[in-house]
Chains A and B, each alone.
Chain A
Amino acid sequence: QVLMVESGGGVVQSGGSLRLSCAAAGLGFNTYGFHWLRQAPGKGLEWVTYIHYDGSFNVYADSVKGRFTISRDTSKNMLYLQMNSLKPEDTAVYYCAGENCANKFCRKTFVYWGQGVQVTVSS
């Protein structure tokens, strides 16, 4: 059974930093790309960032580029999101999600999701 568990959320002042973690278990970590997505209160989902299954590249939404950094630790089956220069509009539930990249073909689907972690940025 696949389990993804986020942690590290909380309340932070505008301009502050937070580091989210996501522990992944029950899947072939090295064959999955990972994403962070978020959902602001009462809003739809927003894709935030992605790191490739082999860690060779990562990409970001324009709204977070230059402020957020995604990383992964293969030895610990962990995914991270370092969030700096936080703004009130970053307030949302943040989800980590896995994308199957078996045989080096990524399916462009968020297959497994964590339960989400709340990030609140106060002004």
Chain B
Amino acid sequence: QSALTQPRSVSGSPGQSVTITCAGTSSDIGAYNFVSWYQQLPGKAPKVVIYAVNERPSGVPDRFSGSKSGNTASLTISGLQAEDEATYHCCSYAGSYTHYVFGGGTEVTVL
């Protein structure tokens, strides 16, 4: 069982927006602004799409955005495209003992 809780799957039509939530605790998401999101295509390595809650690495489309409220982080994909179909993992730094915790991953399907 993963430390962070994500929905198993979400879906949307092309052009729509989808939001993936990631629920943690006051020891991880609530304590640090080190939430990151990783996109993983089938059989491939993960790729960071959001870091530090809401920062986007160069090369990542601006339709990807992140936010945090309390102990829950969210990833929103606006203007969904077929190439966004993947599994998305949330991650939070959790201090010098636990270090990093992950969610179980959310499969995004483009209808």
Range of interface residues on chain B? 20 to 34
Also in contact, A44 and B47, with CB within 8 A (given A109-B36, A110-B36, A111-B57): no
Instruction: Tell me if A46 and B46 are in contact (CB < 8 A).
Output: no
Q: Which residues of A contact B104 (CB under 8 A)?
A: 43-44
A107 to B34, CA, bound (A): 8
Instruction: Tell me if B46 and A107 are in contact (CB < 8 A).
Output: no
Main secondary structure of the interface of A (DSSP, over half): loop
How many of A's residues come within 8 Å of B, CB to CB? Answer: 18
Cβ of B103 within 8 Å of any chain A Cβ, yes or no, is yes
A82 to B13, CA, bound (A): 46
A113 to B34, CA, bound (A): 18
Q: Which residues of B contact A (CB under 8 A)?
A: 2, 32, 34, 36, 38, 44-48, 51-52, 57, 89, 91, 93, 96, 99-105
